[in-house]
């Protein structure tokens, strides 16, 4: 059971500025940039404010704010692996695959409240969630780290992103007769999905951990609540084989809508990559398990290394401010800031154990919010 947290976790954190001879810190640029609670030059002492208490075995993989409900933070939760199979003839491990969401109302306030919501068929539609992204139309999407969303002895890889409504009268309520959960749509071509980002309408990008690709999905019109008509969906696959998944560590995505770039936390490579959305030309069709008419490869897309290995060990969470890339390092539990061209700006040690940090989001208050893989907690980062 999750409960609202009492009190604060106070940490004195040392801010470390990058001292890179080839890319010196631009002091004038730092002074001109919009202020941030954790930007170099501002107080280096902070409090991590836990928004709720989440006992084992829950882990928090990602978090995002609902743009239609100010201050409402959604946190994806999953259990640690049970090491028990989920087979049609031996279902002991099936329940442990069900993810859920912690809805934190008033996350930006001093008195947040908590609601836990789980889909009626979370075993399939929110299996081991890694990531969450909100659109601007009242919908959101999630995806999870699973080869298949069915019984694990089935040979077919069958997993991918799921579209949901953020309407509290729809998401996670008891399904009506004939409804298969409360989802709005699903496509199944991205096993071991490690990250997700919103583009427009019902279009989302995901990190396909099975193929090491970036997959763009357009759900188009959602089907009825709990339905199964996927025929109008589209899949376009980019840069197959150029990414590598790290099991149990999300590899988050962030999309820069101003410049048309998708930023990728390449966890295994210890680097940040950038995909130009308008690059590439249509190639051959790719296999699909859904009855969709568009399912193609994009050839020649521009994927460049923005942050080379060296600063980061295992980047996981990624967020964008007006002029910064903000990254959580799962291996070191540090938060890093980079300019959009990849120049290091600085980092801060959160004081949490190694392996803690996963997702990061900037709230409507411009403060960073963190999800914790080890404890299942979400934090607000406060400057003193």
- Residue 82 belongs to some domain of the structure: yes
Q: What share of the chain is helix, strand, coil (3-state, %, to 5)?
A: 5, 45, 55
> Quick check: 54 and 116 in contact, CB under 8 A?
no
How far is the C-alpha of 224 from the C-alpha of 245, rounded, in Å?
Answer: 33
Vertex 158 angle, CA 154 and 161, to 5°:
150
- Residue 49 belongs to some domain of the structure: yes
What is the per-residue pLDDT across 140-176, written as a single tens digit (0 to 9) for each? 999 999 999 999 999 999 999 999 999 999 999 999 9
- Residue 362 belongs to some domain of the structure: yes
How far is the C-alpha of 217 from the C-alpha of 127, rounded, in Å?
Answer: 19
- Residue 366 belongs to some domain of the structure: yes
What is the per-residue pLDDT across 335-377, written as a single tens digit (0 to 9) for each? 999 999 999 998 888 999 999 999 999 999 999 999 999 999 9
Q: Where are the alpha helices (DSSP H) in the chain?
A: 27-32, 122-125
What is the per-residue pLDDT across 72-107, written as a single tens digit (0 to 9) for each? 999 999 999 888 999 999 999 999 999 999 999 999
> Quick check: 207 and 223 in contact, CB under 8 A?
no
How far is the C-alpha of 272 from the C-alpha of 308, rounded, in Å?
Answer: 7
pTM: 0.92
- Residue 193 belongs to some domain of the structure: yes
**CATH number of the domain to which 254 belongs:** 2.120.10.30
Which residue range forms the structural domain that includes residue 280? 9-383
- Residue 2 belongs to some domain of the structure: no
Q: Where are the alpha helices (DSSP H) in 76-186?
A: 122-125
Instruction: Name the token pair of 79.
Output: 């259990």
For 232, residues 6+ apart whose C-beta sits below 8 A from its C-beta are 219, 220, 221, 292
- Per-residue CA distances from 164 to 35, 54, 132, 209, 264 (Å): 34, 24, 10, 22, 23
Into how many domains does the chain fold?
1
How far is the C-alpha of 27 from the C-alpha of 47, rounded, in Å?
Answer: 26
- Residue 1 belongs to some domain of the structure: no
Name the nearest CA neighbour of 344 among 40, 46, 34, 43: 40
């Amino acid at each position: 059971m999750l409960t609202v947290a009492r009190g604060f976790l106070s940490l004195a954190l040392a801010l470390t500025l990058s001292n890179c001879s080839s890319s010196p810190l631009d002091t004038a640029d730092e002074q001109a940039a919009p202020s941030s609670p954790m930007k170099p030059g501002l107080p280096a002492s902070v409090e991590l404010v836990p928004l709720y208490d989440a006992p084992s075995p829950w882990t928090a993989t990602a978090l995002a704010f609902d743009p239609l409900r100010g201050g409402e933070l959604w946190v994806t939760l999953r259990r640690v692996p049970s090491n028990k199979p989920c087979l049609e003839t031996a279902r002991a491990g099936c329940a442990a695959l069900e993810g859920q969401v912690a809805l934190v109302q008033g996350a930006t306030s001093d008195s947040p409240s908590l609601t836990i919501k789980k889909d009626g068929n979370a075993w399939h539609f929110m299996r081991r969630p890694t990531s969450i992204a909100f659109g601007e139309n009242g919908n959101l999407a999630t995806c999870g780290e699973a080869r298949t969303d069915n019984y694990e002895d089935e040979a077919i890889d069958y997993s991918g992103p799921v579209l949901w409504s953020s309407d509290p009268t729809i998401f996670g309520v008891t399904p009506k007769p004939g409804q298969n959960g409360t989802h709005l749509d699903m496509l199944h071509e991205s096993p071991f999905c490690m990250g997700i980002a919103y583009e427009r309408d019902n279009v989302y990008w995901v990190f396909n951990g099975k193929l090491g690709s970036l997959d763009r999905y357009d759900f188009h019109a959602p089907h009825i609540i709990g339905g199964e008509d996927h025929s109008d969906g589209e899949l376009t696959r980019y840069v197959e084989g150029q990414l590598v998944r790290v099991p149990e560590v999300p590899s988050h995505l962030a999309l820069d809508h101003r410049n048309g770039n998708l930023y990728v936390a390449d966890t295994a490579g210890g680097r940040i990559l950038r995909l130009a959305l308008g690059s590439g030309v249509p190639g051959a069709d790719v296999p699909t398990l859904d009855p969709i008419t568009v399912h193609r490869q994009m050839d020649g897309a521009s994927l460049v290394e923005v942050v080379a290995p060296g600063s980061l060990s295992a980047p996981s969470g990624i967020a964008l401010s007006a002029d910064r890339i903000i990254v959580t390092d799962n291996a070191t539990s540090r938060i890093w800031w980079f300019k959009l061209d990849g120049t290091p700006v600085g980092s801060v040690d959160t004081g949490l154990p190694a392996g803690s940090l996963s997702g990061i989001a900037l709230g409507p208050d411009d403060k960073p919010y963190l999800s914790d893989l080890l404890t299942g907690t979400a934090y607000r980062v406060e400057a003193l």
